Structure 1
């Protein structure tokens, strides 16, 4: 991955070919000064359950004051950028529609590049998907019998009628080009984990499994390159920093895009999952929350006895990770990451994390 002093690749440049990361990165300057644009995930990073994540509002205000551009990048294709921006503004994070990039916009660009201008598209989803298609000059249709040039699935909310999936399945069986805004199998909700757009895509896949060759949708959302390309094209970022709470979408997407990333521990990923992360899911930086944008990040050094970060030393001993020292628990976690990511064995971090209270 590129360092804090590097620049982003252009949208057509090959990416994702960097050597595996074996320790978190260091930045002598606050991240808000080392990068020009933060590409922020929303749910679990800026808000959770519709309410602002603790410290998020002030941290983003501080980052903006230091000159960091803020863009909000979401796999949720249901809401329009205008609706998302209004929600952020209500929470105390001023935002304009052009500050929001959705997987609906990314997939609409993919489709527009593949079909003639004004082509009919069967859209299975909510308003955000329909608006994105129309902005690309595509004509939204409702039925597989309307001669669509493409069929696209985006999250349609819990009330999406079953008949919409039936229309998608019929179109795919007829050989219509198939697209999906994203394939997240689940999404968080106020009542627990709910099926995401990926679950709806699987329904269509099951219904069309007799077709040969088996159809596969072109997918735009994180962690795949079309979403990163959309973000760079819309923001013009030269030194972007991806900020997220999920290893398998936000951080893996940054790796695929060849740019640096910051994992915040306010959402899906916990410390144990971070230590077990595969090479493509290892963030450049880690922080408790968005206040991590406002501070420098210390170096993790390799010594004969292990890895040192500030007052902590982490080593891989037998089948366990060991941690000694004192100081900021996050520095201890950084040292543990280096020990875990360097040793290919599956190591038990339980006792070490207990020392940190993580």
Structure 2
């Protein structure tokens, strides 16, 4: 499914949907951290109930993560404990994506120097490859994935020795950071940087937002009308953009409204919702122009602003402005409709770039300042 502004050019407003997204799409490709659960492992509010309702309505749920540490069976067991029944086949990891990438380029039974955790080891074996621990084991390639906070420094040295000798180098993903219960820690991308600095080489990368991860996901799920659901613009939403599929950004993770308004074209989601309940409802349309007393909608978006659910967003004097027919809140206008209208104003003004408009007063009007 495509909508206004969708494609490699990037969109200039969120789309509307007359049907609930769980009905309009056959498969939800869900990120985990910041979407389904927090870094500490507890479920995000409304996630369990919303996913249960979407599944009961016939939507296939698949869980797509850049974290290569845990095997799918472990992730599925955790989801089930939270109240989101899942099988190992419902979980797709960057370890699986990079293992397929390696298997496509290396002979069956090839020895691969493993720098990472159990999830990557399982994925390599699934593809008929043999993980080894040392350059002395005569590997033909190096694959690097997140190994957890206790990954020994010597493992990075071993990878550097192998890559320095010219062995092909693969990385599950290059996320520089990873959330934890104690805060933000270094991710696999930080470890990849260590090897890059030591060798001057560049790895082939599989994880979001790059195409190998999208390919792995589609192959494993058989999705025909997939919807990517995530909280990160630079992995989830950009991955959907690169794959040419629609996306839903939920504001339960790392992306706040200010970052959303400033998004470059490849980071602009198809839809925006506060949380996973957004899967269960239609999405309101953003229209051009302010609505006059006679109910007419102006055709000039630049002059009349952009309207969604009673909010009208416009640009004036280098700032985003927002007007509403009532106050935001439980008994008034939906703040998310204001966010959607602001996205249209900001993205249209920015075109192919990033919006640099002052959004302070508009966000204050929504109670988000």
Measure the CA separation in 1 of the matches of 2:74 and 2:344: 41
Instruction: Name the structure 1 match of 2:75.
Output: 84
Measure the CA separation in 1 of the matches of 2:7 and 2:272: 22
Flag structure 1 segments of 5+ consecutive residues without an equivalent. Answer: 5-15, 210-214
Give 3-state SS (helix, strand or coil) of 1:70's partner.
strand
Flag structure 2 segments of 5+ consecutive residues without an equivalent. Answer: 290-299, 327-332
Instruction: Name the structure 1 match of 2:166.
Output: 175
Instruction: Name the structure 2 match of 1:126.
Output: 117
Q: Does 1:147 align with 2:152?
A: no
Instruction: Name the structure 2 match of 1:328.
Output: 334
Q: Does 1:115 align with 2:106?
A: yes
Measure the CA separation in 1 of the matches of 2:194 and 2:205: 16
Q: Does 1:185 align with 2:195?
A: no
Measure the CA separation in 2 of the matches of 1:228 and 1:258: 10
Q: Does 1:339 align with 2:348?
A: no
Measure the CA separation in 1 of the matches of 2:164 and 2:209: 27
Name the count of aligned residue pairs: 342
Instruction: Name the structure 2 match of 1:243.
Output: 229
Alignment match of 2:35 (pick from 17, 34, 45): 45
Measure the CA separation in 1 of the matches of 2:70 and 2:26: 27
Instruction: Name the structure 2 match of 1:58.
Output: 49
CA RMSD of aligned residues (A): 1.2
Give 3-state SS (helix, strand or coil) of 1:47's partner.
coil
Q: With structure 1 as the length reference, what TM-score do the two structures score?
A: 0.94
Q: With structure 2 as the length reference, what TM-score do the two structures score?
A: 0.91
Instruction: Write out the 4+ residue segments of structure 1 that deviate beyond 6 Å after TM superposition.
Output: none
Structure 1 residue 19: Cα displacement = 2.5
Structure 1 residue 321: Cα displacement = 0.3
Within a 5 Å distance, the mapping from 1:342-357 to structure 2 comes to 342-344=348-350, 346-357=356-367
Structure 1 residue 178: Cα displacement = 0.1
Measure the CA separation in 2 of the matches of 1:19 and 1:279: 7
Structure 1 residue 346: Cα displacement = 1.5
Give 3-state SS (helix, strand or coil) of 2:163's partner.
helix
Give 3-state SS (helix, strand or coil) of 1:198's partner.
helix
Alignment match of 1:35 (pick from 9, 13, 25): 25
Q: Does 1:313 align with 2:329?
A: no
Alignment match of 2:218 (pick from 224, 232, 235): 232
Structure 1 residue 17: Cα displacement = 5.3
Instruction: Name the structure 1 match of 2:329.
Output: none
Measure the CA separation in 2 of the matches of 1:296 and 1:231: 25
Instruction: Name the structure 1 match of 2:208.
Output: 222
Alignment match of 2:268 (pick from 282, 292, 306): 282
Change in Cα spacing, 1:188 to 1:315, as seen in structure 2 (3 Å) is same
Measure the CA separation in 2 of the matches of 1:156 and 1:321: 44
Deviation string, structure 1 residues 308-356 (Cα, Å, up to 9, x no partner): 0010000011111000013100000000000000002510111101111
Measure the CA separation in 2 of the matches of 1:351 and 1:219: 41
Moved more, 142-151 or 98-107: 142-151
